[in-house]
Amino acid sequence: MLRVTRLTDYATVVLTVLAARGGSVLSASQLAEAAGLETTTVAKVLKPLAQAGLVEGLRGAAGGYRLARDAAAITLVEVVEAMEGPLRMTECSIHAGNCGIEASCGVRANWRRINDVVADALRGVTLAQMLAPPPATRVAVRASRKPIPAALAS
C-alpha cells in the first residue's frame, strides 16, 4: 500500500493551519491546539519543515512560526520531501545501484515513470488548494440522482 507517514500527514495539517491564518505567527502550542495534535508532535514536524524552508521560526516574546512563502507557492511534493526525503516508489526509482537484481530487472523504467507521475501529481497541489473543500466526486453526484429502490427505502 502506498501511503505517506503519519508525521507527513500531520505536517500537512500544521501547514494548512498556518495557511488558513494568512501570515500570522503561531506558537507550537497554538498550532497544536488548532490542529488537534500534541505540542510535542507539532514541534517534531516543525523542525524538518523549517529546515526545508517551508516555515520560518521567529524568536522572542511574540515568536512562533509562519509560512515562509505564500500557501499557493508551497506544493505537497515539497512537504513530502521535507518529511520523508526524495520521493521514490522503489529503492531504484531515484538512484541506480541500490538493488542486487538491477542488471536483469525489466520493471525499473516503469517504476521510474510511475514515480514521476506521482511526483507531478503532488507538485500540482498546493497548500492553498488543500484549504478548499474537495470537489464532489462523480460517483457521489451519480448516486444522488438515482432513486432509492422501494425495498431498501423502508
pLDDT digits 0-9 by tens, 40-63: 999 999 999 999 999 999 998 888
**CATH top class, domain 6-142:** mainly alpha
pLDDT tens digits along 132-148? 887 777 665 555 555 55
What is the Cα–Cα distance from 20 to 16, expressed in whole angstroms? 6
Q: Is the whole model's pTM more than 0.85, yes or no?
A: no
What is the Cα–Cα distance from 143 to 76, expressed in whole angstroms? 31
